[in-house]
Amino acid sequence: MKAPVAVNGYGTIGKRVAEAIRQMPDLELKGIVKYTPDYSVLVAYRQGIPIYVPKGKEGVFEEVGVKPSGTVDELFGSVSLVVDASPGGKGAQNKRVYVERGLSALFEGGESPDVAEVSFSTLCNYRQALGKKYIRVVSCNTTALLRLICLLDRHIGVRKARAVIVRRASDPKEDKGIVNTVKLDPPSIPSHHAIDVKTVLPDLDIETVALIVPTTLMHVHVVHIQTKRSTSIDEVVETLSSTPRIVVLEGAKIGIDSTSKIVEFARDLGRKRYDIYENVVWRDMIKVNGDELTIVQAVHQEAIVIPENIDAIRAALRLAESAEETMRVTDKVLNVGLQR
Ligand SMILES: NC(=O)C1=CN([C@@H]2O[C@H](COP(=O)(O)OP(=O)(O)OC[C@H]3O[C@@H](n4cnc5c(N)ncnc54)[C@H](O)[C@@H]3O)[C@@H](O)[C@H]2O)C=CC1
Ligand SMILES: O=C(OP(=O)(O)O)[C@H](O)COP(=O)(O)O
């Protein structure tokens, strides 16, 4: 039997998580919650996704041609877990309902860490999340940093990490953002990313600085790591390539030297919405000097946390006992790492 799951908050992250759930052999998307009828609910309805709305709001949806499958109460009565992908801070408010109903819930990176029992990264602490009722999947930049750091730590050893995070200003669908400036985010050190990494790796020595630039496509990280022993570029590439969640691109050889070209590459490969689930590391931008390692990676903010959301559902519901077990399924179904 498939595990019944709902998605509450159908925006950038929620719609992608919902689509991924629908593809998984062990999960069933019972429905999504919508509060107001907009273009995204019309598309979801046409795709056959069951739409649940607050009691009394059915008529507003019917006016735009969407027949709800039932009320939010009915949906929550039929699932084991809710993925809460509402805007940052709203998940904590929604949690009251999940607690009252005894439902497990996933929260996203915009929530404060204390909303959940554990902050989650598949490659770092999958087992810690096993059977937990409330799990927070850390944000996009933190997910990418943690994948890199935990993998390098397991194979080579990480003494400390420093990162400059060049953040996209807004998502492509948004009509807001900066136009002609580079903004300190925040104007102090560390940015919230180091603090967030420490919710998963409390003992790590890490500092981060973040800047916002006028782009919507991807974030870019310049990461300096001191390893516990001397390493080499070949060993670093081999380590990073051991997971499909990180792709090492021979950028210079194939002419990919910008986020716009990565996006075009993903579009040419037929990735839906150009979603890039992987950390994209430039092979030519890896530099090693004894125990000093520099890596530059690009992060597609809209997509990178989707595999981790699926893994976190499996951890909460104990559908897979190890990171390897869940990743085998998630990565194959979502084609993470461009296996096919
Ligand atoms: N957009 C991004 O690049 C990433 C976002 N996140 C995190 O994911 C979460 C969701 O962010 P986005 O998908 O970008 O937001 P979004 O604004 O695109 O989508 C949020 C959706 O929730 C709905 N909503 C509003 N109030 C609600 C409530 N009280 N209960 C349920 N739904 C409600 C909105 O109508 C909207 O459809 C946040 O915690 C964010 O920090 C994490 C990684 C990347
Ligand atoms: O999780 C994200 O960024 P973060 O890792 O910098 O917190 C997403 O890109 C959301 O960022 P936003 O808070 O600018 O919408």
Residue 261 has pLDDT above 60, yes or no: yes
Identify the pLDDT of residue 317: 98
Position in ligand 1 atom list of the atom nearest CA 90: 29
Residues in the chain, how many? 340
**150 and 256 inside one domain:** yes
Is 139 known as a binding-site position?
yes
Are 178 and 119 found together in one domain? no
If you average pLDDT over residues 130-154, what whole number do you get?
Answer: 98
What does pTM read for this prediction?
0.98
Q: Work out whether strand 183-184 and strand 205-213 pair parallel, antiparallel, or are unpaired.
A: antiparallel
In a domain, 340, yes or no: no
Residues 97, 227, single domain; the answer is: no
Same domain, 183 and 81: no
Instruction: Show the DSSP H helices in the chain as ranges.
Output: 12-23, 39-46, 58-63, 72-76, 90-101, 122-125, 140-155, 192-200, 233-240, 251-254, 259-268, 306-317, 323-334
Task: Looking at the structure, tell me whether residues 130 and 199 fall in a common domain.
Answer: no
3, 18, 137, 140: the active-site residue: 140
User: Quick count: other Cβ atoms within 10 Å of Cβ 210?
Assistant: 22
In a domain, 273, yes or no: yes
Same domain, 186 and 273: yes
Mean pLDDT for the stretch of residues 116-141? 98
Residue 78 maps to a domain? yes
Q: Does ligand 1 have an atom closer than 6 angstroms to the CB of 109?
A: yes
Compute the distance from residue 142 Cα to the ligand 2 centre, in Å. 9
Q: What is the pLDDT of residue 252?
A: 84
CATH code of 161's domain: 3.30.360.10
124 catalytic? Reply is no
Q: Kindly report, residue by residue over 241-260, the tens digit of the pLDDT.
A: 999 999 999 988 899 999 99
Inform me whether the pLDDT recorded for 340 exceeds 50: no
Q: Is 197 in the pocket of ligand 2 (CB under 6 A)?
A: no
Distance 184 CA to ligand 1 centre (A): 23
In a domain, 91, yes or no: yes
ω into 68 cis (within 30 of 0): no
Task: Kindly tell me if the per-residue pLDDT of 306 is higher than 90.
Answer: yes
Provide the ipTM: 0.97
Same domain, 324 and 291: no
Say if residue 162 is in the same domain as residue 292: yes
Does ligand 1 come within 6 angstroms of the Cβ of 240? no
* 208 occurs within a structural domain: yes
Together in a domain, 162 and 114: no
What is the model's pLDDT at position 339?
57
Provide the CATH number for the domain around residue 105.
3.40.50.720
311 in a domain, yes or no? yes
Write down the pLDDT at residue 34: 97
Q: Given a cut of 90, is residue 233 above it in pLDDT?
A: yes
pLDDT at 310: 99
* Whether 95 and 194 share a structural domain: no
- Distance of CA 75 from the midpoint of ligand 2 (Å): 29
Are 166 and 284 contained in the same domain?
yes
Mean pLDDT score of the chain, rounded to an integer?
97
Residue 97 domain boundaries:
3-138+305-334
AA letter at 163: A
Tell me the pLDDT tens digit for each residue of 19-34.
999 999 999 999 999 9
Q: What's the rounded mean pLDDT across residues 90-103?
A: 98
Q: Give domain status of residue 205, yes or no.
A: yes
**Rounded CA separation 218/252 (Å):** 19
Same-domain pairing of 149 and 262: yes
Q: Is 339 among the domain residues?
A: no
Interval 212-231: pLDDT, tens: 999 999 999 999 999 999 99
Question: How many structural domains is the chain composed of?
Answer: 2
**Of the residues 147, 164, 167, which should be mutated to test ligand 2's pocket, given the most ligand atoms within 8 Å of the CB?**
167
